[in-house]
Chains A and B, each alone.
Chain A
Amino acid sequence: MENIIEVKNITFSYPESEEDAPAEPTLKDLSLDIRNGEFVAIVGPNGSGKSTLAKCLNALLLPEEGKVCVAGMDTSDEDLIWKIRSQVGMVFQNPDNQLVSSVVEDDVAFGPENLGVDPAEIRRRVDEALKAVNMYDNRRKGPHQLSGGQKQRVAIAGVLAMQSSCMIFDEPTAMLDPSGRAEIIDVICDLHRQGKTIVLITHFMEEAAKADRIVVLKDGQLAMEGTPLEVFAREDRLREMKLVLPFAIELADQLKARGIELPKDIVTEEDLMAALESLTAGRKTAGEAVPCA
């Protein structure tokens, strides 16, 4: 599979503020490849450089050293900047900061309109994008009539209508309630299944567990990388970085501590459910079980 994004040894610092500015760069000699169609979760403590990295991926920020290539295009090439941004779309944290229009469907049309797409084609793309995030029935509503999760879905539709092949989500669920969060994660997983490349920045490990690969950043560098299973296996290191494990892993650990034998490859609640199923296959209900000897 070919790489849609190649990050090669990039370093980035924010301009210094007056006094005691951080001397340390935000990103330090960081390299990362993202394959076409891959779902990558980026996690790490605050200040580890997650959002800065995300902004380097579609030329919102340019690295001081090293380079970022999107579908073979160097982000430092100003002539390519719009091509790059139409390839890599971004969804940010605050749903209220991303909608520009007073009608949902106009908002989704904003991107393609700006790209000079033919009106009939815009209509088709807007309808398709709104259907993909399950917001088609709300297309005539105003953003103020929507819940946070619905607003985020409209923001996602806006990126979809640009037909970006890669979508970057910078903590898209941080300001949502649990049901809003579930809506957004379902949409993200759907888009991934349909072949979009997904980069998800999140503090919620349950969300990261759904990715193909997790990248852990710390102090602007890659601290760990691997499948969810590989990353979550290194609990001590995660705890050191104050990252919390997904619930299913915590529960599995506590069960193991109580002498229950469980396989090592438990990441999601479904895994744990299946493991408990195989432990109890053929056994009667716990309450009714006859103690044997």
Chain B
Amino acid sequence: MRLSIENLYHTYGKGLAFETAALKDVSFTIEEGEFVSFIGSTGCGKSTLAQHLNGLLKPDSGRVLVDGKDINEKTPEAMALRHRIGLVFQYPEYQLFEETVLKDVMFGPKNLGCSEEDALRRSRGALSLVSIDPDIFGQRSPFELSGGQKRRVAIAGVLAMEPELLILDEPTAGLDPQGHDEILDMVLALRKNPKLSIVMISHNMADVVELSDKILLLSHGELLKLGTPQEVFGDAELMARSGILPPPAASFVRRLAEKNSFFSSLSPALTTEAAAEEIAKALQGKFE
């Protein structure tokens, strides 16, 4: 599926004293199978934008199009379009409610009108996708699982609806390093499906660099840039303007280039490996 946003505006508290423009004239396209990360400081409009992608919020003006069709029309067809987009909120494990893991995951597909049998098949599949073995965990209470496991079950609940666009709002926030790695591995596996487009909101720039085809940078409700990780993080002026801290490797290399004249012509690096490579190359160049 191809998702386009056209000149989207959104204002919270319209006509009230605390009226704030959350999104201003945002336009972009996510191609089928693409991985796009939304980044920006707290309050820049990332989550608001995410909630527009599946019609949870309605724009003041502008359109959200799936394969050229508006998802906000009041027609059954538009509703069907919205069902093809799955949104996983922040801290989705707080939304688990059923007695067993399997029942919880089946809630979504059943709500879409799937038969019991079909919902079960989809849910078992979704649980396997998030590395939760349905035979071991299916009949357990979701509340007995670890934080990382709970979160993966909650994500499976959305995957069971078989979305073509999956939106993950800060999927690793608040997890310990192990829980974080589990989610990261899961996202890496999901990413291999060429039909599935993924949008991830994240403050972890190292993850963003590792996963994204493109990065969408928001600041005060405006789209500052949509580009590759290199294009976004390599642009020092843009980073300063948006108040975003680039991945640790990128900031280190930049500071090194500024502070130490020997490294002044060091090329930007986004990952620790790339930074080590660049620094080593510069240091050893002289001895070759």
The contact string, 1 if C-beta is below 8 Å from chain A, for chain B 247-266, is: 01100100110011111111
A185 at the interface (CB under 8 A from B): no
Let me know if A258 and B42 touch, CB within 8 A: no
| B13 at the binding interface (Cβ < 8 Å) | no
Pick from B146, B262, B275: contact of A280, CB under 8 Å: B262
Whether A46 pairs with B179 at a CB distance below 8 angstroms is yes
B contacts with A: majority SS: helix
A207 to chain B, nearest CB (A): 13
Distance A244 CA – B179 CA, assembled complex (angstroms):
12
Question: Nearest chain-B residue to A206 (Cβ)?
Answer: B248
Please state if B272 and A254 are interface contacts (CB–CB under 8 Å).
yes
Interface residue from B178, B263, B264, B279 paired with A46 (Cβ < 8 Å): B178
Whether B273 pairs with A178 at a CB distance below 8 angstroms is no
Query: Which B residues are CB-close (under 8 A) to A234?
Result: none
With A260-B279, A286-B285 already in contact, the answer to whether A280 and B260 are too (CB < 8 A) is yes
Bound-complex Cα distance A254 to B273 (A): 7
Measured as residues with beta carbon below 8 angstroms from the partner, the interface class of chain A is 35 or more
Interface size on B, residues (CB 8 A): 44
Whether, in the assembled complex, A251 has its beta carbon less than 8 Å from a beta carbon of chain B, the answer is yes
Q: When the two chains form their complex, are residues A180 and B272 in contact, meaning their CB atoms are under 8 A apart?
A: no
User: A288 — nearest CB in chain B belongs to which residue?
Assistant: B265
State whether A242 touches B203 (Cβ < 8 A).
Answer: no
CA distance A277 to B265 in the complex (A): 15
A231 at the B interface (CB under 8 A): no
22 CB contacts below 8 A, A to B, read A45-B176, A45-B177, A45-B178, A46-B146, A46-B147, A46-B179, A177-B203, A179-B42, A182-B245, A203-B176, A242-B181, A243-B177, A251-B252, A254-B276, A257-B276, A259-B284, A260-B279, A272-B252, A283-B262, A285-B264, A286-B282, A288-B265
Residues of chain A having any CB pair with chain B under 8 Å: 45-47, 93, 147-149, 174-175, 177-180, 182, 203, 242-244, 247-248, 250-251, 254-255, 257-260, 269, 272-273, 276-277, 279-280, 283-289, 291-292
Q: Apart from A203-B177, A247-B252, A254-B273, what 4 extra A-B contacts exist at CB < 8 Å?
A: A45-B177, A177-B41, A254-B275, A280-B283
Listed from nearest, the 8 A-B pairs whose CB atoms lie closest are A254-B276, A286-B282, A280-B262, A287-B265, A258-B280, A247-B248, A242-B178, A46-B176
